[in-house]
Structure 1
Amino acid sequence: MTHWLSGPQSLGKLRSMTRISTADGYIATLAIDHPENYLAMIDPDWRRVTSAEATRSKLELIAELAPHASAFLVDPLWSLSQGIVTGMIPASTGIITGIEALSYQPDGGFGTQTALREQWTVEKIKTLGADAVKMVVWWRPDAADADDNRRLVEGLVADCDRHQIPLVVEPLWYPAEGQDPTSEAARAERQETLVGAAGEFVGLGIDVLKSEFPGDLVDGSEAAAVDAARAIDAACAGTPWVMLSGSGTYDVFRRQLAIVAEAGACGFMAGRAIWTGSVGVPESERVEAVARCQSRLDECLAILRAHGQPWRQAPSLDEVAEGVTAGWHERYLES
């Protein structure tokens, strides 16, 4: 793919991309940046969970799953700095962190206002040594805040370019007020919105698209989901894209992953589908639960390797030796 070979300005991002990937170019990320919905697995009354308890829970899981993931998606509250300080996020494992602020609701859902976390910047994230910035965008192209969201992403693209760190954008569809999200019309709209979002945000210059699965695997609608996944890949036009797991079961997620890998996705950033059932469990069940998580991560990477393509094909030594010659550093980052 030429996206990462367009000039010396790409080198910083290229290095970061290799750090969040496997040696053969697949992005196998365990997402453990979940906020209050993670705490609720420790205690249904999540307000009683202390910061220390959240950190212990997340870092113990990170340490046990690190050999099975190419990167971790971690939060700035309980797991990013703590994982670096303790060394539980190994030097060989990439670090991605979110820059968004999520509005948690008492019923377990989230508000749909796209916003940046206060006092948390691309510069801080890069300075900490993280390898990528992730931004959730609540997305409806017909929403009143659609243009604001476009401008927000444009600003992040410029900021990430300036600091040479990849930007991962995660557009999330949500139903309009009064709309039944399970209706056939809403499901079709969601699919169309996810495909359109790929082209929309890739066009703004993002580095990685993190997409929901664009369809369902029920009611005989798998063929439509396959077509939509291919449409997302076409809209990405060579920009790497990965799939999130959402709140579905692992069995559903692995079927979805095979479909998007066949369509062109190069990876996953999965959380609950992997570790649900291993958080807040009695110690007597923990060993078996963690082993199940490890097996799931290994199986997902095997699915990528069997069905997908790596995010880029590295040029040969001869190409680089002839094309990148002495003096390149003098031109680096020059306009």
Structure 2
Amino acid sequence: MTSSLSAGKFRTMRRLADAQGRFKMMAADQRPPIIKAIDQKLGAGSASYENVGGVKRALVKALAPASTAVLIDPDYGYSHAFEVLPAQPGLLLTLENFAFEESAGGRKTHIMKDWGVDKIKRAGADGVKLLLWYRPDCSADVREHQHRLVREVGAACKAYDLAFLLELLVFPFAGAAGHTTDYIEHKDKRPELVLQSVRDFASPEYGVDIYKLESPLAANHLPDPASGSSAVADAQGWFDDLGKLIDKPWVMLSAGAGMEEFRRVLHYAFTAGANGFLAGRAIWWQAFQQHYPDLAAMERALSTESTGYLAEINRMTDAMARPWTECPAFAGAPELAEAGQTFPSRYPAFA
């Protein structure tokens, strides 16, 4: 059975992907990793609005032209990058405050102060990205908060007809070995936690249009897919199970993985039916880390090494990823909701 999409969501989904329906999206909304790195390089307190924004402007200028969409934050990034952001790529804006609330029972995500889906719509974006730190074994009050937040964002994205991209990340509990608040992959995560997290938000009640997912296995432990070992089949099995949990489009995140590690993640994910990627540090971290604060040198590295890597994974996406229109939810042919001569009267106005 073919599913339909509202006019706004249909249009924004197409704008976030290429003409064939594959997502090749670049993330430049990272704030804590860039802030921390600048402070380490230049001294505590050096990560000013201007310094952080300057990095983001360079990332967007160099990498947006080869991306189908750009994800940027509204506080440090959007104003700096606006002028150099081409008209062609789609645009995602971050919704959450990067400063999450941590307790013994888990992490609660909050929306950035004085920001919301309505403002993202007015700012000209095609979609909303919400990062949700989540574990299915969180305390009851944390789970309730996180689930309620996703429902509320999903309802708002439906009301404003914007694509809703949900990013799910497993994290270590406070006090656990290896605990960190850094925005990196949890190295000791269990694949069962990753899969159950996705399962917990797979229902249509959450209004998610695109899932941004992490590797079920630590990226640096993934075997080379070309090796043909039994470990390859085992790893592929986890990715295949991930893809079976949802019938909507899904893309892979890099979570600070290196270039070769992320290539392997994409290979397994595309084999399992993923529709593309939304990645940041795997693409540009090396250029930033090696050359900042020499912005000129960083920009040269972005325009050579980073763009070369982006071109490589774009080709990989062309060859292996499934177009989003072929997801089970759309049966290969999504239809426009309320289509026909009565569209003007049936298409809902803003509340």
For 1:108, the equivalent position in structure 2 comes to: none
d(CA) in 1 for partners of 2:334, 2:115: 40
d(CA) in 2 for partners of 1:309, 1:219: 22
For 1:41, the equivalent position in structure 2 comes to: 37
1:284 CA drift (Å): 4.2
Q: 1:146 to 1:320 in 2, by over 3 A?
A: closer
1:298 equivalenced with 2:296 (yes/no): no
d(CA) in 2 for partners of 1:76, 1:120: 9
Q: Where does the alignment leave 5 or more consecutive residues of structure 2 unmatched?
A: 180-185, 224-230
- Superimposed CA distance per residue, residues 208-256 of structure 1 (whole angstroms, 9 cap, x where no aligned partner): 111011114538644333112111211112x000110012211100111
Letter in 1 for 2:235: A
1:278 CA drift (Å): 1.8
Contact 1:258 1:304 in 2 (8 A): no
CA RMSD between the two structures: 2.9
d(CA) in 2 for partners of 1:266, 1:136: 19
d(CA) in 1 for partners of 2:304, 2:273: 29
Paired residues, number = 317
Answer with 218-227 or 208-217: which moved more: 218-227
Contact 1:166 1:207 in 2 (8 A): yes
Give the 3-state SS of the residue equivalent to 2:26 in structure 1: strand
Answer with 47-56 or 260-269: which moved more: 47-56
Answer with 46-55 or 217-226: which moved more: 217-226
Of 13, 24, 27, the residue aligned with 1:28 is 24
Q: 1:248 to 1:329 in 2, by over 3 A?
A: same
For 2:221, the equivalent position in structure 1 comes to: 218
1:22 CA drift (Å): 1.1
Letter in 2 for 1:141: P
1:100 CA drift (Å): 0.8
- Superimposed CA distance per residue, residues 121-160 of structure 1 (whole angstroms, 9 cap, x where no aligned partner): 0000011011111111111112120121111111111111
Letter in 2 for 1:327: T
Of 9, 32, 48, the residue aligned with 1:13 is 9
For 2:59, the equivalent position in structure 1 comes to: 61
d(CA) in 2 for partners of 1:209, 1:329: 31
d(CA) in 2 for partners of 1:39, 1:207: 30
1:235 equivalenced with 2:248 (yes/no): no
Q: Which structure 2 residues correspond to residues 171-320 of structure 1 after superposition, within 5 A?
A: 171-180=168-177, 190-203=190-203, 204-216=206-218, 218=221, 221-237=231-247, 239-279=248-288, 280=292, 282=294, 283-284=296-297, 286-313=299-326
Of 143, 147, 155, the residue aligned with 1:146 is 143
TM-score normalised by L of structure 1? 0.85
1:19 CA drift (Å): 1.2
Contact 1:215 1:222 in 2 (8 A): no
d(CA) in 2 for partners of 1:129, 1:298: 27
d(CA) in 2 for partners of 1:133, 1:188: 29
1:181 CA drift (Å): 6.1
1:43 CA drift (Å): 4.2
Give the 3-state SS of the residue equivalent to 1:96 in structure 2: strand
d(CA) in 2 for partners of 1:113, 1:16: 28
For 1:101, the equivalent position in structure 2 comes to: 97
1:104 CA drift (Å): 7.7
Q: Where does the alignment leave 5 or more consecutive residues of structure 1 unmatched?
A: 106-110
